[in-house]
Structure 1
């Protein structure tokens, strides 16, 4: 029973907590088609994880710094 409970909370900690803290999903004020932007956030998170990133917040910062150097 304890393993099932820990397994359930690992989903919440691994997905929803990252979406809330790193991507600011709870603070989003998008009212038209919010599901599209939710899919984009999930896609970005999955893309970062697929590339081996474990610290999503730091990875987003690195991407933003590189983005500025490419287009400036």
Structure 2
């Protein structure tokens, strides 16, 4: 345990229960905010790896469109999983 963690715990022990609950709520809020920030950064990183429509090679775009058409046709025939 770090010195800071020790000091925080000692201070928490001195607080009335209502204030400890407030501290717990605040800590949960901070943790949730960090999780959201990490999730947003993960989405941004994913977005940076995906090509824009303009950057996608025409052959690849056509190949993807054809694959989608085949998949839809199979589903209409009842063969899609």
More helix by share: 2
User: Does 1 or 2 have the higher relative contact order (CA < 8 Å, sep 6+)?
Assistant: 1
Pick the structure with greater CA Rg.
2
What TM-score results when the alignment is normalised by the length of structure 1?
0.32
